[in-house]
Amino acid sequence: MAGVKFDHVWKRFGDFVALNDLNLEIEDKEFLVLVGPSGCGKTTALRCLAGLEEVSDGNVVIGDTIVNDIAPKDRDIAMVFQSYALYPHMTVFDNMAFGLKLRKVPKEKIKEKVQQAAEILGIEHLLKRKPRELSGGQRQRVAVGRAIVREPKVFLFDEPLSNLDAKLRVQTRAEISKLHQRLQTTFIYVTHDQTEAMTMATRIAVMNKGILQQLDTPQQLYDRPNNLFVAGFIGSPAMNFFPAHIRKDGAALYVDTNEFAVKIPENRAEVYQHLVGKEVIFGLRPEDIHTPEYAPPGIHAAPVEAKVDVTELMGNEIFLYLVSGKNNFTARVDPRTRVAIGSMTQMVFNMDNLHIFDPSQDRDNPTAVR
C-alpha cells in the first residue's frame, strides 16, 4: 500500500503546458478522482504517474520513492484503460494471467490469483471465453481483474466507464466502489463525468487548463466551491450564474441583477459588506429554486418573477428553464408542480444557499467570497 504525491509537477508538450505546477498529495488507501473537462490535464497527470509520460519538472512520488526515472513496469502500479486493451486471441483466464506469466510467477500461484480475482468480480464462469464473447461490462471487469491479480500499490483508472451504456455505467460504478472497500488500496480515477466523481470519491481534485482548482471532499466541493469554474462544474444541472452588484438599502443588503433584486439574509450580510456597489457574480443551484407551494419551510425565501421557457419532466422531479429579462436560469422543482410553457410564474430563491463570486482579481474565474 502507498500514498502518491505530485510535487511541483510540470508537463510541457512544446509550448503547450499540460500540467502547471501540480501539487497534489493522495493518501494511502484513498479513492481520489481527478475530474475536469477534456484537455484539463487529468489523463496527463495519470500517465506521468504511470511512467507513460516523462515529467518536464518536479517529482512524482509513490510511497517514499521518487519514481521519475523508474520504468513503468517497476513502479508497482496497475492501470485500467478506457478501451479495455484485452488480447482478442486469448481467453479471459490468459488475459488476466498475462502479466503474472511475464513475471514468471509459478503456474499454481497464477491459477490461485486469477480465481480469486474472478470471484471478487463475479466472472469466474467466463474464464474460458474469448473477449468477443463478452459484453462491454464483462470486458471491463476482465480489465479490472487483470489489474487486481498483480496486487499493486496503486490502481489507476483512465475513464474506464466511458464505453458503457448508462445503466451499465451505474452498475459498474458501484462495483468499483465496492472493490475499493474490499481491497483497501489506493485508487486514482480519471473522469470528465462529475456524477462519477461525486458518487465514488473520497476526495476530488478538480482540474482546468492544467491547474488544480480545488481538492476536497465531494460534499465540500458542492457546498463551498472555491471559484466560478468549480461551482459550475460540480452539480447537475449546473449552478445558475447572474451578473449583479451588491446594493445597500438601509441596514439590508441586496443582490441586484437589474432585472430583479433579492435580499441577502442578515446572518450572511456581514461577509459581503465590502462588496457594496461592486460587480459580482451571484450563484444559486437549481435545487435551491422552488415554486411557492413546494418551497421548504423555514428558509430565507426571495420571490422572483420569471417566464417559463421549457419544462422537462424527469419523473421524480421537473426541470424548469426560466427567463427573467436577460437572465436564463434553471430550477429543479417538485414533480407535482404545474406550470404552462410561456406563462409568467413566481419562483422562490432559497437565499440561505447563495454563492457570491468576486471578479475583481480574475474576471475569467472569479473567486468565491465567504
Same domain, 221 and 118: yes
Q: Which residues, 6 or more positions from 72, have their beta carbon under 8 angstroms from its beta carbon? A: 50, 51, 52
Last residue of a domain, one of 169, 200, 233: 233
pLDDT band at 336 (very low <50, low <70, confident <90, very high): very high
1 pLDDT band, cuts 50/70/90, is low
Residues spanned by the domain of 160 = 4-233
DSSP structure class, residue 206 = E
Q: Are residues 11 and 140 in the same domain?
A: yes
Distance CA 134, CA 273 (A): 62
Confidence at residue 160, expressed as pLDDT on a 0 to 100 scale = 85
- C-alpha grid cell, residue 57: 519538472
Given a cut of 80, is residue 5 above it in pLDDT? yes
**56 and 189 share one domain:** yes
Of 211, 233, 255, which residue is a domain's last?
233
The verdict on 131 and 184 lying in the same domain is yes
Is the peptide bond preceding residue 303 cis, with omega within 30 degrees of 0?
A: no
What are phi and psi for residue 238, nearest 5 degrees?
-70, 160
pTM over 0.75: yes
Q: Report phi then psi at 258, rounded to 5.
A: 80, -25
Looking at the chain, the whole-number percentage of residues with pLDDT higher than 90 is 76
* Alpha-helical segments (H) within 205-347: 218-223, 228-233, 266-269
| Residue 92 burial (CB count, 10 A) | 27
Query: What average pLDDT is seen over the chain?
Result: 93
Rounded Cα distance between 60 and 120, Å, is 31
pLDDT confidence bin for 337, thresholds 50/70/90: very high
Amino acid present at 16 = F
What pLDDT was estimated at residue 146? Answer: 87
323 grid coordinates: 427567463
Domain check: are 282 and 137 in the same one?
Answer: no
C-alpha to C-alpha distance for 69 and 155, rounded to whole angstroms: 20
Residue 211 sits in the same domain as residue 353: no
Among 233, 257, 277, where does a domain finish? Answer: 233
Whether pLDDT at 170 is above 90: no
User: In CATH, what number is assigned to the domain containing residue 307?
Assistant: 2.40.50.140
DSSP structure class, residue 37: S
More confident residue, 290 or 137: 290
Cell of 293: 407551494
Let me know: does 146 contact 95? Beta carbons within 8 Å.
Answer: yes
What is the tens place of the pLDDT at every residue in 126-166?
999 999 999 888 888 888 888 888 888 999 999 888 877 88
pLDDT for 99 equals: 85
268, 351: one domain: yes
